Amino acid sequence: MGSVWQPSVVRAPHGPHPHGAHRGWAIRGTGSYLPARRVPSRELSRSLGLGPSWIEERTGIRHRHVAEPGQASSDLAAAAADRALARAGVSAADIGLIVLGTSTPDELGPSTACRVQALLGAGRAAAFDVSAACTGFVYGLSAAVGWLAGRPDPAPHALVIGVEVYSRFLDSGDRATSALFGDGAAAAVIGPVAAPYGIGPVTLGSDGSRAGDVLIPAGGSRDPASAGTVAGHRHTIHMDGRAVRDFITEMFPRLVAGAAEDAGIKPADLALVVPHQPNPRLVASLAGEAGLDPAQLVIAGQDVGNIGAASLPYALDRAVREERIAPGDLVLLAGFGAGVTWGRALIAWPPPGPHSPG
């Protein structure tokens, strides 16, 4: 790997970690779920009055998945979480915390995480949502690691989930949004690991002055639901495509450079970079500017579209299933989204064990 970087580790507050080692936190299992219905870009292009290859040529997206009527975010999230738990070898009873990132909750309240807790039967778990749009998984990871670090031994595990059912919030005539978004969920089980493996410091950021770049204008306390908001399509995603493109072009190389500088490594030392990918073709085109070889990127958006908070963990789960990650690899998670928000986490991937994704 050519790097001596190690994640910061946390000593258990109620005594040393078993075997005398400092305790860190690692991703012990991943899982994802996509609805059965798949809509090809060629079919969607025709419905939007576009040429058959218009969407794929501009975005790289070949198809996206769409939830069935009555299938909510919590249903997708619970299915992804079940798969992550199985891969980690952990039961729902072992989960002490569920953090769920979404922009498309089941309802405004209670949290979708509470719905998922009930579906999983994770009765010991505290559960809450984070609203950080497409950066939601990285924000959730930060919350989970901070919470786990304060637990006494033996520490429980945490579930971090990203999920979206964007199809409920799209104007079918708006090609700027309908061409990009899909439905899906992905999850990760977080648990203890001995040094030198685990999740390093998670860096988060936001710039609320750009909140209008991507939003669902109505349905909240500022613009409550009414006949007028429904007629005006104000419960659907509104997006300034140029502003979003500029943000991605600026932010992704910054996240890679910041992670490398903080860790004292070069971008070439990263085994994999797992980015959010609202437009997979655009993100892939930024590899050189970020100092990366294209082979270092995990690009999965061509098969699912932009699935928001689930985008990054879905790509990570895919990399795990395709055996692209080896023990000791440095893996960078790089998220960015509406708000605007951004976040990154550098992980020294753990070796296989009784509770690991190997």
Query: What does the pLDDT read at residue 286?
Result: 97
- Tokens representing 323? 């055996």
**How sure is the predictor about 2, in pLDDT bands with cuts at 50, 70 and 90?**
very low
**Domain span at residue 46?**
1-358
Rounded to a whole number, what is the largest CA-CA distance in the chain? 65
HEC-encoded secondary structure of 169-184: HCCCCCHHHHCCECEE
- Tokens representing 61? 């997206």
182: number of Cβ within 10 Å: 28
Asked if residues 223 and 124 have their Cβ atoms less than 8 Å apart, the reply is no
**Residue 179 neighbours by CB under 8 Å, 6+ apart:** 41, 44, 45, 48, 54, 55, 58, 59, 61
Distance CA(39)–CA(17), nearest Å, equals 49
**What's the burial of 134, exposed, middle or buried (CB within 10 Å: 0-12/13-18/19+)?**
buried
Give the closest residue to 270 by CA, choosing from 251, 250, 247, 287. 287
Note the pLDDT tens digit of each residue in 309-348: 999 999 999 999 999 999 999 999 999 999 999 999 999 9
**Residue 65 neighbours by CB under 8 Å, 6+ apart:** 34, 35, 36, 37, 38, 39, 182, 183, 184, 304
**Residue 64 neighbours by CB under 8 Å, 6+ apart:** 38, 39, 41, 44, 181, 182, 183, 304, 305, 307
**Residue 288 neighbours by CB under 8 Å, 6+ apart:** none
User: How does the average pLDDT of the chain come out, rounded?
Assistant: 92
Asked if residues 198 and 7 have their Cβ atoms less than 8 Å apart, the reply is yes
Query: What does the pLDDT read at residue 5?
Result: 59
Give 3-state DSSP helix, strand, coil % of the chain, rounded to 5: 35, 25, 40
In the chain, what is the straight-line distance between the N-terminal and C-terminal CA atoms, in Å? 18
Distance CA(32)–CA(205), nearest Å, equals 26
For residues 125-138, give the mean pLDDT.
98
Catalytic positions are 134, 276, 306
Note the pLDDT tens digit of each residue in 256-282: 999 999 999 999 999 999 999 999 999
Asked if residues 180 and 302 have their Cβ atoms less than 8 Å apart, the reply is no
For residues 14-21, give the mean pLDDT.
34
**Residue 357 neighbours by CB under 8 Å, 6+ apart:** 27, 28, 29, 30, 87, 88, 320
CATH number at residue 161: 3.40.47.10
Residue position matching structure tokens 């971008």: 267
For residue 127, pLDDT over 60 is answered with yes
What is this structure's pTM?
Answer: 0.92
The domain tally of the chain equals 1
**How sure is the predictor about 357, in pLDDT bands with cuts at 50, 70 and 90?**
very low
